[in-house]
Amino acid sequence: MDALSEILRVVRLVGAVFIHARFTAPWCYQSPSADTAAPLLEPGAERVVIFHLVTEGECFVELAGQPPMHLCAGDVVLFPRGDAHLMASAPGLAPAQGARLEAVLSRRPRQLAYGGGGPTTRIVCGYLACDARLARMLLAGLPPLVRVNVRGSNAGVWLEASVRYALAEARSPRPGGAGVLAKLAEVLFIEVLRLYMNEQQATRTGWLAGLGDAIVGPALNALHHRPAHAWTLEELAGAAATSRSVLAERFRQLVGATPMQYLAQWRMLLAANLLRRSSSPLARIAEDVGYRTDTAFSRAFRREYGTPPATWRRHQSTHGRLD
């Protein structure tokens, strides 16, 4: 299993579609920062990533400090840093003064329809809530605004059709529509990451850039395939078919950490997942993530999470937080 698939298998993701909008030009919609919307979208989540899928027509997205970006049908935009932004039929329009955010999000997916009666644009707005550490890993190095067009992939065609179907089902009396939309939001987010990896430029850095790199990618896959293994830099360089010095330099350049530092971080994410989702004793979890003693494991976990693993587990069972 590749590193991205392994991360998505292990770490808890929660997604949903919260707005289905039909705008007619001229129009302008203001989307709040993720920090503002998070308590309303997913209470308890440490990190929320908002995205928009344009299913019909065209529009512009405006982010402070950047020129307006033109979007067309099939484009998905997501905001790795959670910045507030505008979606509009043309640059420079003032946002509409609508209901308070609490009222808009009281029923999901919310149907929005307004504008001046001109050309129509339809947009699906969704989010993904995840562990803060996962967000730092996956989204590191990404620009404030990421755009990909899903209509260029087979998965994208299926996703758009599925989203339209699920939105119709969410308005019907049949149960389960909201659940289907939630899963589709997660799949759409993953497809955006995959497409972005394929389009990435040589100057990009971050975890996704590392995964697509000819040297760092095999090393990441090896670490995720056998996280409990007592890896050495020499052995990892062999898996990547390069020298230790080249691997170390390239890994730090793209991922921002040494291979061994990264391995320690991934082991802690694995441990947190096992603590949250299983009743296994600490000694077993320590062994599963590559520590010979539960004492060494407890020290490492406390350095990363600020609390001993047993205490952290009790807190999770009580509060059920995404942290």
Do both 259 and 141 map to the same domain?
no
Does residue 208 form part of some domain? Answer: no
Claim to verify: residue 131 and residue 226 sit in the same structural domain: no
Given this model, what pLDDT does residue 45 score? 83
| pLDDT at residue 181 is higher than 60 | yes
Are 219 and 306 part of one and the same domain? Answer: yes
- Distance CA(139)–CA(80), nearest Å, equals 6
Q: What is the pLDDT of residues 71-116, one digit of tens each?
A: 999 999 999 989 999 999 999 999 987 767 676 666 667 888 999 9
Q: Looking at the structure, tell me whether residues 149 and 261 fall in a common domain.
A: no
Q: Letter for the amino acid at 240?
A: A
| Residues 153 and 236 both lie in one domain | no
Q: What is the pTM assigned to this prediction?
A: 0.86
> What's the chain's average pLDDT?
88
* Residue 156 pLDDT: 77
**Greater confidence, 204 or 231?**
231
Specify whether 168 is located in the same domain as 250. no
Statement to judge: residues 44 and 161 lie in one domain = yes
Which two structure tokens, joined as six digits, stand for 298?
Answer: 């407890």
Report the interhelical angle of 3-10 vs 132-139 (nearest 10°).
160
The answer as to whether 57 is a domain residue is yes
111 & 31 share domain = yes
Q: Are residues 58 and 146 in the same domain?
A: yes
Structural domain for 173, as ranges = 3-199
Distance (Å, whole) CA 174 – CA 94: 39
Same domain, 179 and 279: no
pLDDT at 39: 86
What total number of domains does the chain contain? 2
Give the pLDDT confidence score for residue 130 in this predicted structure: 84
My answer on whether 7 and 135 are in the same domain is yes
Q: Sorting pLDDT into bands at 50, 70 and 90, what band is 200? A: low
Residue 207 domain-assigned?
no
Name the least confident of 105-114, 131-140, 201-210, 285-294. Answer: 105-114
3-state secondary structure the chain: CCHHHHHHHHCCEEEEEEEEEEEECCCEEEECCHHHHHHHHCCCECEEEEEEEEEECEEEEECCCCCCEEEECCEEEECCCCCCEEEECCCCCCCCCCCCHHHHCCCCCEEEEEECCCCEEEEEEEEEEECHHHHHHHHCCCCCCEEEEHHHCHHHHHHHHHHHHHHHHHCCCCCCHHHHHHHHHHHHHHHHHHHHHHHCCCCCCCHHHHHCCCCHHHHHHHHHHCCCCCCCHHHHHHHCCCCHHHHHHHHHHHHCCCHHHHHHHHHHHHHHHHHHHCCCCHHHHHHHCCCCCHHHHHHHHHHHHCCCHHHHHHHHHHHCCEC
Q: Which residue has the higher pLDDT, 221 or 132?
A: 221
* Cβ contact 222:240 at 8 Å: yes
Supply the CATH number for residue 318's domain: 1.10.10.60
Which tens digit of pLDDT belongs to each residue from 11-68? 778 888 888 999 999 999 999 898 888 888 888 888 899 999 999 999 999 999 899 9
